[in-house]
Structure 1
Amino acid sequence: MNVETILADLVAVPSLPGTPNRVMTDCLRDYLAGAQVTEIPGPEGDRFNLFATIGPRDVPGYVLSGHSDVVPVEGQDWATDPFRLTRDGNRLIGRGTTDMKGFLACVLSMVPEFAAMDLRRPIHVALSYDEEIGCRGVGHMIARLPGLCAPPLGCIVGEPSDMRPVLSHKGKQAIAITIEGQAGHSSNPALGVNALYPAGELLVWIRDRAARLATEGPFDPRFDPPHSTLQAGVIRGGSAVNIIPDRAVIDIEVRSVPGQAPQEVTAEVLAELHAVAARSGVRASSAEFSSYPALPPPEGDDLSRLLARWTGQEPLAAVSYGTEAGLFHAAGIPSIICGPGSIARAHRANEFILDEELEACRRMLLALSAEISAPA
């Protein structure tokens, strides 16, 4: 099947995270003809993962993993319709071409070729939803894998890496902190409880804790920066200057090096939150809205050596962005990142992928299938 045609169909579906994905799922399923396909619903009831197998299910094989959702385009200055694939020379432009429908198109284009081969080991295709808002969908699929296939030998997550195998990434947790005081008229502040002041105390503490992470570690020189990070990214509170604000919400994010779970740092933040709340007479709560574990460096080099051979590129030790690979690894499946396109183009206006990048991905997939095919 033609990769560009498939990519055009995928781009035409505005598969935004947090929305029903039946149209996207049906499109993907159409290109999985010849595979054994299982639809795995999420708890939302209107979103689904797909897990497909080509070859024997009862022996260990390899997982090709990708997410089908894309980030929104609002506020971006696109030269073309972002949900219509547009060719400009060797560039294919559209939302998701790099992150990561280009990889999905390559995989789907190979399904008929995989199905025609006498595979000694299976190739599994794992297609998830809502990755862009915290890897929310894939966990429901990973939980079902023991009943769907033999324990996989490895998982290739096709996030854009310039087709260079990537061995590790940081973990992440993002939470919303809510502080509730008591509203009142600003003419007598003593009759209310201003939620912004304890929020300000907590923000100063977060700033200082982030600085200590930079100076005290733990450190991992493979990353830039080589330590875990903590930051407050959004604060919301107050409605008018003459009303005592009774509510403040702070969104914070931790990105942690392997060996330090992001939850360790957020637990410190929450302990300080409750201390501040007790001193200030406010109520405090928190809710996680994004989380995934780090992908630590592999314990062995079997998968990285295979990917180096299949791509012709030496592995890269680590990247700063996160992926679903950490979740596959946490489930006991050796995982690596390798996909077409550059992460520098992801989430931006006029996102594009190159013809030669798609072809390089197909060559890697063909090398994988040749590796596990029976001799002629």
Structure 2
Amino acid sequence: MQAIDILDKLVSFPSVVGTPNDAIIDWVRSYLEAHGAVVHVLPGPEGDRANLFATLGPRDTAGYVLSGHMDIVPATEPGWTSDPFRLRKEANRLYGRGTTDMKGFLAAALATVPKFARLTLARPIHLAFSYDEEAGCRGIPHMLARLPDLCAQPLGAVIGEPSGMQAILAHKGKAAAKVTVEGRAGHSSRPDLGLNAIHGMATVLSKAVAAATALTAGPFDATFEPAYSSLQVGLLNGGRAVNVIPDLCEAELEARAIAGVDPRLLLVPVREAAEALTAEGYGVTWEELSSYPALSLPRSTPLAGLFCDLTGREPLAAVSYGTEAGLFQQAGIDAIICGPGEIDRAHKPDEYICTEELSACEALLESLGRRCVA
């Protein structure tokens, strides 16, 4: 199958983040097994979705991982001019949800599999397809935990997020959390009988703003824009009517950390401020929503040098968005970002990828495969 045909099939699966993914898993598994790959479907703890790991070549030798996520964000935005789950071709553009982020890379990798299968690989090529990346990289840790049983320690992992086929060496880490403050409802005319959850949350918000401001003073890493870690409250919900004392208020916040900083630690002052509210009679719940570390691959590593050679361009120092690459690096595997498409097309109506971008990705992966030949 050509990459366009594979992409057409992948786009037809509405594999929205947080939902079952058995349909796309079954199709990819059948395709890979038909080309001689050894495939492992690795169910996650949710019970209704899974990761997939496949190998071509000797599993007991160090090789390379082609990694991407199968999940997509919902396609509920207004502005779509065609069915987001049906690939539409106009000139050199292929429209559909996930074409750029990141089923285009999956399609290119799968289209290259028959060519890998015809090579005498001295080093293996692995395909690692994950779930729920769009929810904060929730699926990939379960696959990485199984990796020692599935293959020899890889030489490197290629994370095929859209990068314009330019290799990328670094991105920030991220942690997100939800805090819930419970008070006591009542009529607004008797505030002495109630406990205002929004007022309690105001203390938490004030601490979050102060923590965010403090981060602008450093530490700094000029690789990133901005060059410091950041924190923000992104969602806030509470109250039912202006004359009712609100008994519940919820907020979601995130921290983005430069390399060397644990993003979860940036949220600690906010969590402490929230938990201190229990002394005033509030109920407080803190829930970690997601967390992944920063990526920081030195330019001097063999993987960075290899991709400089394969792409014919110097790697880009860093990007602002996050990926699963930091989790590979945390697991002791060098990781680099390089994939077709542009990130600014993702998560938008009429998301698209260009045919020449798919072809360029296939060509690069073929070149990588030839580096693995005996």
Which band: TM-score by shorter chain? over 0.9
Match of 2:67 among 54, 61, 65: 65
Q: C-alpha separation between the residues in 2 aligned to 1:339 and 1:350?
A: 19
Per-residue CA deviation, residues 336-370 of structure 1 (Å, 9 max, x unaligned), is: 00000000101111000011111110111011011
Does structure 2 conserve the Cα–Cα contact (< 8 Å) formed by 1:168 and 1:295?
yes
* Aligned-partner residue type, residue 235 of structure 1: L
| Corresponding position of 1:247 | 248
| Corresponding position of 2:344 | 344
TM-superposed CA distance for 1:276, in Å, is: 4.1
Indicate whether 1:29 and 2:43 are aligned. Answer: no
* Aligned-partner residue type, residue 31 of structure 1: Y
* Aligned-partner residue type, residue 67 of structure 1: H
Q: C-alpha separation between the residues in 2 aligned to 1:69 and 1:91?
A: 21
| Corresponding position of 2:359 | 359
Does structure 1 conserve the Cα–Cα contact (< 8 Å) formed by 2:264 and 2:291?
no
Per-residue CA deviation, residues 136-176 of structure 1 (Å, 9 max, x unaligned), is: 11111100000000000000000000000000110000000
TM-superposed CA distance for 1:242, in Å, is: 2.1
Q: C-alpha separation between the residues in 2 aligned to 1:142 and 1:48?
A: 13
The 5 Å alignment of 1:173-184 reads: 173-184=175-186
Q: C-alpha separation between the residues in 2 aligned to 1:165 and 1:91?
A: 23
State the percentage of identical aligned residues. 54
Q: C-alpha separation between the residues in 2 aligned to 1:146 and 1:297?
A: 22
| Corresponding position of 1:332 | 332
Does structure 2 conserve the Cα–Cα contact (< 8 Å) formed by 1:167 and 1:304?
yes
Give the TM-score, by structure 2 length.
0.98
Does structure 1 conserve the Cα–Cα contact (< 8 Å) formed by 2:297 and 2:334?
no
* Aligned-partner residue type, residue 251 of structure 1: E
Q: C-alpha separation between the residues in 1 aligned to 2:26 and 2:78?
A: 28
The 5 Å alignment of 1:173-322 reads: 173-214=175-216, 216-278=217-279, 280-298=280-298, 300-322=300-322
Match of 1:114 among 98, 116, 128: 116
Q: C-alpha separation between the residues in 2 aligned to 1:230 and 1:138?
A: 24
Does structure 2 conserve the Cα–Cα contact (< 8 Å) formed by 1:142 and 1:331?
yes
Does structure 1 conserve the Cα–Cα contact (< 8 Å) formed by 2:55 and 2:124?
yes
Q: Alignment partner of 2:53: what SS?
A: strand
TM-superposed CA distance for 1:75, in Å, is: 2.6
Q: C-alpha separation between the residues in 2 aligned to 1:202 and 1:149?
A: 46
Structure 2: unaligned runs, 5 residues or longer = none
TM-superposed CA distance for 1:92, in Å, is: 0.5
Aligned residues between the structures = 372
Q: Alignment partner of 2:94: what SS?
A: strand
TM-superposed CA distance for 1:277, in Å, is: 4.2
Per-residue CA deviation, residues 180-199 of structure 1 (Å, 9 max, x unaligned), is: 11111222111000011121
* Aligned-partner residue type, residue 359 of structure 1: S
Q: C-alpha separation between the residues in 2 aligned to 1:213 and 1:262?
A: 12
| Corresponding position of 1:323 | 323
Does structure 2 conserve the Cα–Cα contact (< 8 Å) formed by 1:131 and 1:324?
yes
Q: C-alpha separation between the residues in 2 aligned to 1:268 and 1:16?
A: 33
CA 1:277/1:218 → structure 2, altered by over 3 Å: closer, same or farther?
farther
Q: C-alpha separation between the residues in 2 aligned to 1:76 and 1:119?
A: 47
Which segment drifts farther, 203-212 or 103-112?
203-212
TM-superposed CA distance for 1:299, in Å, is: 7.4
Structure 1: unaligned runs, 5 residues or longer = none
* Aligned-partner residue type, residue 242 of structure 2: V
Q: C-alpha separation between the residues in 1 aligned to 2:133 and 2:172?
A: 16
| Corresponding position of 2:40 | 38
Does structure 1 conserve the Cα–Cα contact (< 8 Å) formed by 2:77 and 2:349?
no
Does structure 2 conserve the Cα–Cα contact (< 8 Å) formed by 1:106 and 1:362?
yes
Does structure 1 conserve the Cα–Cα contact (< 8 Å) formed by 2:232 and 2:254?
yes
Per-residue CA deviation, residues 250-305 of structure 1 (Å, 9 max, x unaligned), is: 10000000111111111121112223443x43121200112111112337421011
| Corresponding position of 1:85 | 87
Match of 1:51 among 39, 53, 66: 53
Give the TM-score, by structure 1 length.
0.97
* Aligned-partner residue type, residue 225 of structure 2: D
Match of 2:99 among 97, 100, 122: 97
Q: C-alpha separation between the residues in 1 aligned to 2:219 and 2:30?
A: 47
TM-superposed CA distance for 1:309, in Å, is: 1.1
Which segment drifts farther, 353-362 or 204-213?
204-213
Q: Alignment partner of 1:224: what SS?
A: coil
- C-alpha root-mean-square deviation of aligned residues, in Å? 1.1
Does structure 1 conserve the Cα–Cα contact (< 8 Å) formed by 2:299 and 2:305?
no
Does structure 1 conserve the Cα–Cα contact (< 8 Å) formed by 2:170 and 2:294?
yes
* Aligned-partner residue type, residue 165 of structure 2: M
